[in-house]
Structure 1
Amino acid sequence: MTNDETATSPLATSLVERVDAAIAESVAPAATEVDRTGEFPSASIAALAAAGALGATVPAEFGGSGAGVDTASEVIRRISGACGSTAMIVAMHYSATAMLVAAGRADALAEIAAGTHLTTLAFSESGSRSHFWAPLSTARASGDAVVLDARKSWVTAAHHADSYVWSSRPLAAEGPMTLWYVPRTTPGIAVAGGFDGLGLRGNDSCPVVGADVVIPRANMLGDDGAGLDAALSVVLPWFLVLNASASLGLMQAVTAATTAHLVGTRLEHVDQSLAQQLPARTRLARMQIEADRNRALITDAAGAVVAGRPDASLLVLEAKASADQGSAAAADLAMTACGGAAFRRELAVERRFRDSRAAQVMAPTTDALWDIVGRALCGLPLIDPAEFGRAEPGQAEA
C-alpha cells in the first residue's frame, strides 16, 4: 500500500480527489502565510467546504456523504501534509460532528452537510486543564432552559466555529459530565484573546468564557451525566485517529521535503549531493520508517473502529501516542539532516518542526495516553475516578 493509496469506494475516491484539488488550489499556497501571521485559514476552510470535506462524515439522511473515520483519516493526512493548522481545525470539526451525529442533532447536521457550519470541541478547562474528563463548569436549570457557566482553556477555531460541543458538570444526575450543543453566538459567550503559539499558528485555539449562557434543555447531547461515556466511546476514537493522522501527514511531508533537499543540494568541492552522505541518508531512512510504521498502526486503528473490532479502543489510544512521538522524532531528524537550511522558512522544515510539538501536549497528552494504555493492559479503569473532580452536580467548584 503506497502513501497515496486511499479507500477503494467511489465515494471516498471522489471526496479525496476534490480535497486534493482544494489543497493544491487553496490550502498549500496559504500555509506559509497562515504560519507567519497566525491568521485563521478562512479561505482554506471555505475551499474544503466547497469540496464537500466539512460534510463528509454526516450521514446521508442529513444530507452528508456518510464517510467513516477511515476516510476522514485520509482527508486529514492529506490536509496536514500541506498545512497543520487547517488539518487540526478540520480534525476537531469531525470529532465534534461525531457527537452531533450520535445525538441526532438534525439542524446542525444539515448545515454541516451543506458546508455552511463549522463545529468544534469545548472540553478542556482552566481548572482541570488537559484532564478533560473532569469538567468544573456548571449547568443549572432555569425553567425550561439551562444556564451554563464555564472557563474553557483552549477551544480550536474559537472565534470562527459556528457551534461548540460543550462539556459541563451534570445538570442533576450522577456522573462526571454532561454534553451540550452551544451555538457560538449565544449571549454570554466570550472568546478571550487570540492565539500566538509555537506551532499550528492558525488554528485559533483560544480560551472561551461562558457566563450565564442560556440554552434550551433540548440542547443536551445524550443523557444527563452520561457525557463522559459519550466522550470516550463516540468522540475520543475520532479525535485520537484524526490527531494521529495529522501527525502522519506532517511526518510524510517533512520526509518528502528532506528527500528533495538532500537530492537537490550539492557539495561542489567533492562533486556529490547531500544524498550521497551517509549520515544524512540514515536519518532520512529513519524518518521514512517512522512514517510507515505509524501509517500501518493508524490504518489498522481506523479499520478497527469502522469494523467495531474489540481491539479498537486500545489501538486508537496507541495510534495517537505513537504518532505524537513519531512526528516529533521525524522533525528532529529532518532538522539535523538538512542542517542550516532547515532553519530557513522557505524549506518548511522548521514550520513542521514547530507543528510537531503540539500533539504531545494536546489532551489526552502523550503521558496520559501511556498511562491509559497501561491501565487497559492491566485491567484497571482507564481513568482514575479520583480525577473526576470534587464539585457536586450542578454546583460550581469554590
Structure 2
Amino acid sequence: MSESRTRPIPARPACDGRAQDDLDALVALLAVNAAGVDRTACFPEENLAALRSAGYLGFLIPRRYGGMGRDLADLVTVAQRLAGACLSTAMIWAMHCQQADVLVRHAGPRLAAELLPRVAAGEVYLASVTTGTVTGGHLLSAADALERGIEEEILLRREAPVVTGGEHADGFLITMRDTAHADGHAVSLVYADRDALTVEATGGWNTLGMRGTASGALKLSGAVPPDQVVGPPGGFREVALDSMIPVGHLAWSACWLGAARSSFSALLRWLSREQRERLSSPLVHERLGRIRLDLELVSGYLGGVRQEVERVRADRSRPDSAEVQIHLNSLKTAASELTYQAVDRMVQLAGLAVGYGTDSPVPLERTLRDLRSAALNYSNDRLWTANGALCLLDRGVTLL
C-alpha cells in the first residue's frame, strides 16, 4: 500500500488563485507522465497521489464534510483540463467523482458521516463495480445476489469483467441482485471498504487505448453492515437515473472533448510553426473547419445537457423523463463519435509521420487509440436502441 493511501493529506478549501495553481500543476504532471502511462500500460499512481494531495478526490464532496464543494460545471471544466494532459488519469478521476456524487446524494446518514470525510481527505479512491460476467455492461441488471448473514450482515460475492482502477481502489460501489430470489432488475448498490473484502484480480488489462486505467477483471467477496446499501434496497435504478448516469455521461464526455481539444490545439501550433506554407491552402482550411465544428457541437451539447441536469436537480423534477434520458444518451453517443471523428480528421491532415507516429510532436496516435474506446465504454449500440424506444414516449419531440 502506497504512502499516499495510508497517510492522506486533508483536503483544504482554496482561494481561486491557489486552486488554479494546483490545477495547473496537476495538468503539467499528467502531461509529463502521459506517454509513459500509455507505453507501459501502468496505472498512474503518481498522478493519483497528486490528485489526492491536492484534495481532488473530494472535488464534489460538500465543504461540511471537508471537501471542495464543487459543482457539475466545475467538474466538466476540470475534466477537460486533466484529459487534455492524460485521458487515462482523467477518466479514473471522473469515474471516482461519479461515485462520490452517488454517495453525497444517496448514502444513509451513518455511512455519509463516516465515509464522506475520508473521501474528502483523499483517503478513499472509489471504484465502480457494475459490469457482470452474465449481464455484461447492462447497468440496471445484476446476476450475483446478496445474502443475509448472522446479525443482519450483508454477504456479497461478485465477479466483474471490467473495473476501472479496481486493484488500486480503497473502496467500491458494487451493484448486486437484492436477493437470490429477486428479479434481475431488483438491483441494490452496496458500498464496501477494501479492508472488508477479499479482492482477487482475475484478468489483466492490455488494450489498444486507455491503457493506464487498469480496468481488469476482479472477483470480490466479503461482508458489510446493512446500512451500507446506498439508496433503496433493490432500487438502484433510482440512484442510477438521479446520479450515476447523468454525472457519468457529463464527465466522460468532458474527458473525451478535453483530449480531442488539446490535440487540436497542439496540431494548430505545429502547423503554424512547422507547416506555414500549408496554411494558405483552402483544403487545409476546410479540414480545420470540419474538425472545429465537431468539437463545437460536442461542447455546445455538453453545456446544454449539463444545464438541464442542474435544472432537474434544482427543481427536484423527474430525471427519468423520456426527453432527459434522450438528451443524456445523445450526449454520450455524440461526444464519443464526434471526438473520435475529429481526431481521425486530425491524423489525416497531419499526415503519416506526424499524425500516425508514436513519437510524433503531436500525440494524435495515442489520442486516436484512447478515443476509440469511447463508443465501447457503455456501448453506443445499447444507447441508440434505448433512444429509439424513448422517442416513442416523447411524441412532442422535446429538443434540448
Distance 2:120 2:324 in 1: 27
1:187 and 1:245 mapped to 2: Cα distance? 32
Displacement of 1:296: 0.9
Is residue 215 of structure 2 the alignment partner of residue 198 of structure 1? no
Query: SS of the residue aligned with 2:284?
Result: helix
Query: Partners in 1 of 2:297 and 2:21 — Cα distance?
Result: 25
Gaps of 5+ in 2: 1-13, 318-322, 395-400
Counterpart CA distance in 2 for 1:330 and 1:192 is 36
For 1:222, give the aligned amino acid.
Answer: G
Partner of 1:379: 393
Shift of residue 349, structure 1, vs aligned partner: 0.5
In 2, distance between residues paired with 1:240 and 1:64? 23
Give CA-to-partner distance per residue, 1:318-364, whole Å, 9 cap, x none: 2111100111101110110011121212321000000111110011x
Aligned to 1:232: 241
Distance across 1 between alignment mates of 2:160 and 2:248: 18
Q: Which residue is 1:332 aligned to?
A: 344
**Aligned residue number for residue 185 of structure 1:** 195
Query: How far apart are 1:17 and its partner, in Å?
Result: 4.5
The 2-side partners of 1:210 and 1:51 are apart by 30
The one-letter code sitting in structure 2 at the alignment partner of 1:376 is L
For the residue of structure 2 that corresponds to 1:188, the secondary structure is strand
Q: Does the alignment pair 1:37 with 2:40?
A: yes
Q: What is the TM-score of this pair, normalised by structure 2? A: 0.85
Q: Which runs of 5+ in 1 are unaligned?
A: 1-9, 267-271, 381-398
C-alpha distance in structure 2 between counterparts of 1:376 and 1:128, whole Å: 22
2:326 is matched with which residue: 314, 322, 333? 314
* Post-superposition CA distance 1:45-103 (Å, at most 9, x none): 22222222211100122111221222111111110111010011011101111111121
- Per the alignment, residue 343 of structure 1 pairs with 356
In structure 2, C-alpha distance between the alignment counterparts of 1:96 and 1:220, rounded to whole Å? 14
d(CA) in 2 for partners of 1:50 and 1:275?
44
Residue identity opposite 2:174 in structure 1: W
Write out aligned runs for 1:1-398 (5 A). 15-24=19-28, 26-102=29-105, 103-104=107-108, 105-143=112-150, 144-171=152-179, 175-211=185-221, 213-266=222-275, 273-308=277-312, 312-340=324-352, 341-345=354-358, 346=360, 347-363=362-378, 365-379=379-393
- What is the match of residue 390 of structure 1? none
Q: Following the alignment from structure 1 to structure 2, what is the Cα–Cα distance between the partners of residues 294 and 156?
A: 24
Question: In structure 1, what is the Cα distance between the partners aligned to 2:16 and 2:128?
Answer: 25
Taking only aligned residues, the RMSD between alpha carbons, in angstroms, comes to 2.0
Q: Deviation digits for residues 129-153 of structure 1, max 9, x if unmatched?
A: 1212221111010122111122111
The percent identity for this pair of structures is 25
Amino acid at match of 1:325: E
Is residue 19–residue 53 contact of structure 1 (8 Å, CA) maintained in 2? no
- The letter for the 1-side match of 2:136 is R
* Contact kept? 1:16, 1:75, Cα under 8 Å: no
Matched residues in 2 for 1:96 and 1:170: separation? 20
2:298 aligned partner, one-letter code = N
CA–CA separation in structure 1 for the residues paired with 2:215 and 2:17: 31
Aligned residues: 363
Greater helix fraction, Structure 1 or Structure 2: 2
Q: Distance in 2 between matches of 1:154 and 1:230?
A: 21
Q: CA deviation at 1:232?
A: 2.1
Partner of 2:5: none
Structure 1 SS opposite 2:214 = coil
- Residue 314 of structure 1: how far off its partner (Å): 3.4
